[in-house]
Amino acid sequence: MMFFIDTANLDQIKEANDLGILDGVTTNPSLMAKEGISGKNNQLKRYKEICDIVDGDVSAEVISTDFEGMIKEGIELSEIAPNIVVKIPMIKDGIKAISHLTAKGISTNCTLIFSAGQALIAAKAGATYVSPFIGRIDDTNWDGMSLIEEIAEIFAMQDFDTDILAASIRNAKHIVDAAKAGADIVTCPLNSILGLLKHPLTDIGLEKFLADHAKANA
Ligand code: G3P
């Protein structure tokens, strides 16, 4: 399973990249706004900065919701760097845009996926990735992880090449559960990735090893 980081924050991207486990980055308009990035030039600049840090795929989302606008933006974004993936919302014109960009050889990530049907039609249109939003489904008292399982079953059965990119990850358990459910990629906040490292018995064990070493070498 691949690990992406879900942020537009350069320090966090560098920190995850320095761990040697980072395969890519996803962003969205909310994450760009959180970093205080506004205006087209600043947005394009930030995507370029991210692509300069990470070799893997970097999702950059379109703002347009009409076909022509999405194609124009998508082509412009794809010209920033070869590892840019154009992130397109799950709407009717979005599906049309994914088909069009796929035919032009441009990678796409269909975002805001909340059902197996949405994932199926995005895959049929040729999306490189589909992004089911686990945490936001859990927030509505439904089971986000069962959606990953359902999509994984359909894609395997129907032999789709589209990768399942589990998004809206909120904690380390989500990452482990997404791995078990068949996600190809998880995109996570840095804290959720770092949460994977934590166990109290590891801390207690290390403290004891170091104390015993110090005693023996006093
Ligand atoms: O990038 C899309 C997704 O990961 C957003 O997550 O936490 O805003 O639901 P969240």
CA nearest ligand 1 atom 9, residue: 168
Give CA–CA dist 208/31, Å, rounded: 41
Quote the pLDDT of residue 137. 98
> How many Å apart are CA 144 and CA 147, to the nearest integer?
5
Residue nearest to atom 5 of ligand 1 (CA): 168
Compute the distance from residue 211 Cα to the ligand 1 centre, in Å. Answer: 42
Specify whether the CB–CB gap between 174 and 194 falls below 8 A: no
Which residues, judged by CB distance below 6 Å to any ligand atom, belong to the binding site of ligand 1?
Answer: 6, 26, 28, 133, 135-136, 167-168, 187
Atom number of ligand 1 nearest to Cα 139: 9
Alpha helices in 28-171 (DSSP H): 29-34, 40-53, 67-78, 92-103, 116-124, 134-139, 144-158
- Residue 14 appears among annotated catalytic residues: no
Task: Determine the pLDDT at residue 87.
Answer: 98
pLDDT value at residue 73? 98
Predicted local confidence at residue 83, as pLDDT: 97
Report the candidate in 179, 172, 174 with the shortest Cα–Cα distance to residue 149. Answer: 179
User: In 3D, which of 55, 8, 52 has the Cα closest to residue 33?
Assistant: 8
Q: What pLDDT was estimated at residue 133?
A: 98
The series of mean pLDDT values per 10 residues for the chain, 218 residues long, is: 98 98 98 96 97 97 98 98 98 98 98 98 98 98 97 98 98 98 98 98 98 97
Is pTM beyond 0.85? Reply is yes
Integer Cα distance of 119 and 125 in angstroms: 10
* Catalytic residue (one of 34, 40, 87, 173): 87
Q: For strand 163-166 and strand 129-132, is the pairing parallel, antiparallel, or unpaired?
A: parallel
Query: pLDDT for 34-69, tens place per residue?
Result: 999 999 999 999 999 999 999 999 999 999 999 999
207 CA to middle of ligand 1, Å?
A: 36
How do residues 131-158 score in pLDDT, each as one tens digit?
A: 999 999 999 999 999 999 999 999 999 9
